[in-house]
Amino acid sequence: MFPKNAWYVACMPDEVADKPLGRQICGEPMVFYRNAEGAVVALEDFCPHRGAPLSLGFVREGTLVCGYHGLEMGCQGKATGMPGQRVNGFPSIRSYPVIERYGFVWVWPGDAAQADAAKLHHLEWAESAEWAYGGGLYHIGCDYRLMIDNLMDLTHETYVHANSIGQKEIDEAAPKTVAEGDAVRTSRFMENVAAPPFWQMALRGNGLADDVPVDRWQVCHFTPPSHVLIEVGVAHAGHGGYHAPADKKASSIVVDFITPETETSIWYFWGMARNFRPDDAALTASIREGQGKIFSEDLQMLERQQQNLLRWPERNLLKLNIDAGGVMSRRVIDRLVAQERGQTGVPQAEATRVIPVRTAT
Amino acid sequence: MFPKNAWYVACMPDEVADKPLGRQICGEPMVFYRNAEGAVVALEDFCPHRGAPLSLGFVREGTLVCGYHGLEMGCQGKATGMPGQRVNGFPSIRSYPVIERYGFVWVWPGDAAQADAAKLHHLEWAESAEWAYGGGLYHIGCDYRLMIDNLMDLTHETYVHANSIGQKEIDEAAPKTVAEGDAVRTSRFMENVAAPPFWQMALRGNGLADDVPVDRWQVCHFTPPSHVLIEVGVAHAGHGGYHAPADKKASSIVVDFITPETETSIWYFWGMARNFRPDDAALTASIREGQGKIFSEDLQMLERQQQNLLRWPERNLLKLNIDAGGVMSRRVIDRLVAQERGQTGVPQAEATRVIPVRTAT
Amino acid sequence: MFPKNAWYVACMPDEVADKPLGRQICGEPMVFYRNAEGAVVALEDFCPHRGAPLSLGFVREGTLVCGYHGLEMGCQGKATGMPGQRVNGFPSIRSYPVIERYGFVWVWPGDAAQADAAKLHHLEWAESAEWAYGGGLYHIGCDYRLMIDNLMDLTHETYVHANSIGQKEIDEAAPKTVAEGDAVRTSRFMENVAAPPFWQMALRGNGLADDVPVDRWQVCHFTPPSHVLIEVGVAHAGHGGYHAPADKKASSIVVDFITPETETSIWYFWGMARNFRPDDAALTASIREGQGKIFSEDLQMLERQQQNLLRWPERNLLKLNIDAGGVMSRRVIDRLVAQERGQTGVPQAEATRVIPVRTAT
């Protein structure tokens, strides 16, 4: 269950270079390639001739050619040629709106008529020369909402990432969650704590002492359909924390674009944007490597959690204060899915899966 | 969906030597072994005692012995002995008619009463000293009819086998397809073209210049249930092509015996028979190696095509002129299956899968 | 289909040391760990917070802590703490009765109210200093009852274990099977035979000549739910066989604790207890290695037999005299399962799988 009328990250630009890329997005097998102008095109990965995947074909001067019998497919999903054939009567395949922006290729798996580039939120860090970005891609066997839960409740850092970004003060600082329209924000502030290893590294990378008390913050922003951007940072204690001047802090934005592949698997585009030493490529690589290791620690937990939920579909999970970010994000998702289905409420079949509010805290 | 009252290639003779061979044919798990006379026997791979696969047993002086508790199984599927037991009352298992001929072991998975060696078509190349044969076996995850389609439409050579036997003139020469009774023949002739690499090799192997224009031909013969023999060759241009004298051409027969394992997997026995330098074992090995590489290029395409068709079962595929060979072959298969089911038409459940005729060309 | 109100071997004590152990028993995913007193605890492997497997967590001073968000789980399945949360209202998870005894950890997957340590049968060899034990664990993809059949009919030794413990005289000596309450005993005695390789080794290990005729015995004891202990041995011929004095024989007990994982997979705890040279650790290791090799020979047969039975669910298997041990054991199991279901007979759904009595012998 996912909104289909939305922009999802499909791939990174360098994944679509000379050869077509086959990738399933929101249950739709798609092929991505670049046309003669270099623009990325997304089509159903199905040749109307004999059903071969077009992603096994090749690109000839910007035209996608089926690798089985040479059908040439146009950017709109209409065959444009085939050796010895008149293709006018061939059935079309779907084409999907695509935008290449902010260092990602975005696809709209739903109703193309509703696709609008203006609906893609602005990402300041992706366009400014004052910021640097590094990231990667993981394939994980879980419902995309489990990953949203994960990212909107960072108390898991203390357990899953105990040796890098976790610290007991995360548990001790209650988060605050607010919803504004379709956006959800969960904030946590910790004052006068020791910086954990990852942040010591970041402080050093920013030319700051790493052995003094710091104020630390985590502000998680969910926006539909499944994007979580997290402002994170530490400042030398007593200088204003989140609002401290640039020469007293190390901060960055954890970038999480979660694209459903199927109901129980995702393409997880993770990364970090920082606004200090943006030209230091070695630092970018170092942070990327560290983050990649940390984020890989979540994979087994998410996949095994998914398996447990599939085995016990009738069990209700708890909704504690720390879970409020995920819970509110799911409500936004439920509402959007219901809207797509032309209904005013969540459809019955899905409603049985909705987690009841508990008052355990 | 496959005809069961037909001779299928089960294995190559050397696959049934000292030990029993377990192999599923047309959905039937079978065990093959040689009896005391050296004749191949095929039985259900199921011991009537406790259900163990007989193929895990052994052959003692021509008798198949279950490897679990020693039941001795006779050639007709009737237990002949077991230590300490009277076996008269034991239930029988099915035995399947078998013929070993033409360098293959053939099995009849259907009604044994209808099995007749005369129904096995004659293979001249397999018995004549003027011919040599080399081949191999691939296991592929696709409906056997997708492989028939593949072999009856060789325009795929230009794309799948671009570096060996493909050339653009294949696309340019329209094929001609005719049906005669249960046989289907698709022919294509190309005049005054350059020989592609595989055929240059064959010309040299036959002591002929490889850098002169040639006439090239492909004549695909389908016969039920799923056998495709393809006469292929090149002749120095202007000497009669297909009918050119032996010292002006290199020709051979591509041999394709496609045996369904399940509805979506096959045992694909491929090979090549040639009538030049039949005693040159090194040439046989060389051709076999080349053909093995070329034919392996089809595997991924066929398996991914199968997956696409399973995902979109409601989609109709196109039936272009180049597809006529496969389309007509499928009609023969449909008719034979319908006959087996004692019906005059294709049964309803299957009819929904039949590809509608399109007039796109 | 398995009795759940019974003690099953869950694991060996050293499998639950510092870290929790996740293992599915009788279809129930469980987590095992040691509490502050060192006692093994078994709980559902499901954190009531968000469904994560508790077995991915850790043990802190005898308390199981969820590795996702730090929920602390008590021995009775009731959360005892969680950072920043009041856990009183959290739903409980199941806890399972556990006993650690005889060198194994036993679990009761059914109704805890009926669990009683007195229902665990006494194992003299596991407590006496005159006995030594060595064993191992295999995971096998078959119904646990196929393994019971296997162990209650040792004629398979002649075929599956031809080079170690099999010999033709096993087939020749008819077994005798008797049921006493819920226990089933199948006995076989062979007089004046040659000792097969494994027993020659055991005779030498016991300081006895290995090249003289022996009397050999096998007495298989089934007790519910799925335990098979087999008294096996050889004595120099003419000294009383099973009843021969200790200095004339080599004997031991084959230990088989078969724990269903699912309907078609098992945890197979195998081993051998012997009452000669109990302090000879090298001999224990040598026997263990030999037995491990021999018992691994059954795996493929059992898994392929299982696959055959799944493919032909409607086929009835034979029930010969040699199968009486397995047949009677299954009757005990059927009766216990029926009791659990509060019925007087075997439920209908299972009845169709019951093997009819044959009179083939």
* Interface pTM, i.e. ipTM: 0.90
Q: Find chains touching chain A: ≥3 CB pairs under 8 Å.
A: B, C
- The whole-number average pLDDT for the span B211-239 is 96
Best CA proximity match to B172, nearest among B295, B322, B319: B322
Q: What are phi and psi of A31, to 5 degrees?
A: -120, 135
Whether the bond between B83 and the residue before it is cis, its omega within 30 degrees of 0, is no
Mean pLDDT (chain B, rounded): 92
**Residue type for position A335:** R
Name the minimum distance, in Å, from the CA of C292 to any CA of chain A. Answer: 32
What's the whole-model pTM score?
Answer: 0.91
Residue A185, beta-bridge partner list = A178, A221
H-type helices in chain B, by residue range? 124-127, 144-152, 157-160, 168-172, 197-205, 281-311, 324-340, 348-351
A-chain residue closest to B312, CA distance = A51
Contacting residues of C for B78, CB less than 8 Å apart: none
Residue B343's pLDDT band (cuts 50, 70, 90): low
Helix or strand (DSSP H, E) at A290: helix A281-311
Contacting residues of B for A261, CB less than 8 Å apart: none
Q: What is the pLDDT of residues C5-57, one digit of tens each?
A: 999 999 999 999 899 999 999 999 999 999 999 999 999 999 999 999 999 99
**Residue type for position B232:** V
Contact flag B358-A89 (C-beta cutoff 8 Å) = yes
Residue B219, beta-bridge partner list = B187, B231
Contacting residues of B for C316, CB less than 8 Å apart: 91
- Joined together, the tokens standing for residue C105 give 């950890």
Contact flag B56-C301 (C-beta cutoff 8 Å) = yes
Tally of CB atoms within 10 A around A344 = 8
Best CA proximity match to A216, nearest among A257, A188, A179: A188
CA–CA distances in Å: residue A355 to residues A177, B347, C86, C91:
18, 47, 19, 14
Helix or strand (DSSP H, E) at A124: helix A124-127
- Joined together, the tokens standing for residue C143 give 């119904």
- The whole-number average pLDDT for the span B238-258 is 94
Contact flag B46-C308 (C-beta cutoff 8 Å) = yes
Check: CB of residue A250 under 8 Å from CB of residue A205.
yes
Q: Burial code of B97-126, b = ≥16 C-beta within 10 A, e = fewer?
A: bbbbbbbbbbbbbbeeeebeeeebeebebe
The percentage of residues in chain B with a pLDDT greater than 70, rounded to a whole number, is 95
DSSP code for C141 = S
Best CA proximity match to B223, nearest among B295, B302, B325, B344: B325
Q: Find chains touching chain C: ≥3 CB pairs under 8 Å.
A: A, B
Residue B354's pLDDT band (cuts 50, 70, 90): very low
| Longest distance between any two alpha carbons in chain C, whole Å | 76
- The whole-number average pLDDT for the span B272-287 is 91
d(CA C235, CA C253): 15
Pick from A59-68, B258-267, B336-345, C73-82: least confident: B336-345
Contacting residues of A for B320, CB less than 8 Å apart: 49, 82, 85
- The whole-number average pLDDT for the span B218-226 is 97
Whether the bond between B225 and the residue before it is cis, its omega within 30 degrees of 0, is yes
Contact flag B168-A83 (C-beta cutoff 8 Å) = yes
A-C C-beta contacts closer than 8 Å: 80
d(CA C272, CA C189): 20
Contact flag A155-C69 (C-beta cutoff 8 Å) = yes
Contacting residues of C for B83, CB less than 8 Å apart: 155, 158, 168, 171-172
Size of chain A, expressed as the number of residues it contains: 361
Contacting residues of A for C91, CB less than 8 Å apart: 316, 318
Residue B347's pLDDT band (cuts 50, 70, 90): very low
Check: CB of residue B221 under 8 Å from CB of residue B123.
no
Contacting residues of B for C264, CB less than 8 Å apart: none
What single string gives the DSSP state of each residue in A186-251?
EEEEEEEEPPPHHHHHHHHHTT--SSS-EEEEEEEEEETTTEEEEEEEEEETTS-GGGS-GGGEEE
Unique residue bearing structure tokens 């093994």: C40
Pairing between β-strand C28-34 and β-strand B8-11 as defined by DSSP bridges = unpaired
Unique residue bearing structure tokens 């653009």: B168
Q: Which of A155, A305, A323 sits opposite C83 (nearest CB)?
A: A155
Pick from A21-25, A145-149, B294-298: least confident: B294-298
Name the minimum distance, in Å, from the CA of B353 to any CA of chain A. Answer: 13
What single string gives the DSSP state of each residue in A220-233?
EEEETTTEEEEEEE
Contact flag C70-A359 (C-beta cutoff 8 Å) = no
Unique residue bearing structure tokens 């039937």: B28
Q: What are phi and psi of C249, to 5 degrees?
A: -145, 160
Say whether pLDDT at B269 is over 80. Answer: yes
B-chain residue closest to A57, CA distance = B159
Chain A residues near any Cβ of chain C (below 8 Å): 149, 153, 155-156, 158-160, 168, 171-172, 174, 300-301, 304-305, 307-309, 311-312, 315-318, 320-323, 358-361
Contacting residues of A for B149, CB less than 8 Å apart: 50
A-chain residue closest to B149, CA distance = A50
Check: CB of residue C187 under 8 Å from CB of residue C170.
no
Chain A residues near any Cβ of chain B (below 8 Å): 29, 45-46, 48-53, 56-57, 65-70, 82-91
d(CA A64, CA A80): 10
Burial zone of B357 (CB within 10 Å; 0-12 exposed, 13-18 middle, 19+ buried):
exposed
> Which stretches in chain C have pLDDT values below 70?
343-361
Contact flag B68-C156 (C-beta cutoff 8 Å) = yes
Name the minimum distance, in Å, from the CA of A321 to any CA of chain B. Answer: 42
Mutate to test the interface with A, among C31, C60, C68 (most CBs of A within 10 A): C68
Best CA proximity match to B241, nearest among B200, B190, B206, B290: B190
Residue A342, beta-bridge partner list = none
Contacting residues of B for C311, CB less than 8 Å apart: 29
